[in-house]
A = this chain, B = another copy of it.
Amino acid sequence: MVAKNSPTPLPGSCAACAVRPFALFRVVPQARVGEIARVRSAVRLVRANEAIRDSVFTLYAGWAFSWTTTPDGRRQILDFHLPGDLVERSEDGAEVSALTDVSFCVLAKDRLCEFMGRDPGLALSYADGLVRDRARLRERLTSLGRRDALGRVSHLLLELHGRLARRGGADRSGAPLPLKQAHLADALGLSVEHANRALAVLRRDGVASFQKGRLDLLDRTAMEELAGWSTAPAPPVLTRVGA
């Protein structure tokens, strides 16, 4: 249960932060990086499968996920969080857990609000992240509402691949994905067994293979077909921050 080979790196100075180009603070010019440090209230490391209690943070390394549970005890995964993502806890009864070992920068709510109140660009960067979250949730809603198991699995795998690729964490043919099949199932509203069967079909048909923490895209065209993939998500309507 403990990290073995490569220990999870801890975030260092904001000025040299590797994930900042993808993160909330990407809009802060180099000259004002010092102001960011005053918003960061702590740096933290949490082990895989542990709950994260901090309510606002920027993920630096590793994956996390948000989830709720229905009264009858079943889990619904609401979103996966990748390095650079801003994560907010408890906007409802949802919890956030570490999927792998993770490290992140905890942000002080009040100071962040104050910063955003002073810097509209930052507030818009925040809004931009929310718009992306919303777009992703809408896609997933469409999956759960109107796609069968094969389509849902294909769609989620393509989504995760795309998000990783945008951060340089994937190449065209595949990417490392630290998920278990149970995570896929709980994100897609499927039973673990059925998610497994869908993955087996993808493998059998030479479409994609997801094994041992690695996704391989064998036939992207076929996979997009199965997923009902809708080209690339368009840029947000309002907030066009950063690159």
A interface list, Cβ under 8 A from B: 55-56, 66, 68, 70-72, 74-76, 78-79, 88-94, 109, 112-113, 116-121, 123-124, 126-127, 130-131, 133-135, 137-142, 144-147, 186-189, 228, 230-231, 233-234, 236-240
Contact = CB atoms under 8 A, between A and B. Distances in A.
Q: So how many copies of this chain end up in the complex?
A: 2
A126 B70 contact: no
Nearest to A71: B228
Given A113-B238, A120-B123, A127-B123, A91 B134 contact: yes
Q: Which of A70, A71, A121, A123 has the most CB of B within 10 A?
A: A123
A141 B68 CA distance: 10
Nearest to A78: B138
B147 A144 contact: no
Nearest to A227: B71
